[in-house]
Amino acid sequence: MPTYDFRCKKCFHKFSKRVSSSEKDKVTCPECNERAEQIFTGFLYKKAAGENGSSGGCSGGSCASCSGC
């Protein structure tokens, strides 16, 4: 079950909660028991080695022949 971030519509308390995607519209604030809305936070995506689609790769030693590691 995924964890989502929420903010209360009344008291603006921010919290995270594990809830199914079908139930996230029914989440209530743990502070005042009012309805909460999902907020979207940033996330980090890191490419795996070799995921760039080219057959060549970084040598790991010198970046003279590539655009950066």
What pTM value is reported for the model? Answer: 0.58
Examine the pLDDT at 59 and tell me if it is beyond 70.
no
- Predicted pLDDT of residue 63: 62
Distance CA 4, CA 6 (A): 7
The string over 52-62, giving b where at least 16 C-beta atoms fall within 10 Å of a residue's C-beta and e elsewhere, is eeeeeeeeeee
Q: Residue 33: count other Cβ atoms within 10 Å of its Cβ.
A: 11
- Which is higher by pLDDT, 18 or 1? 18
Give residue-wise pLDDT tens across range 2-52: 999 999 999 999 999 999 999 999 999 999 999 999 998 776 667 776 655
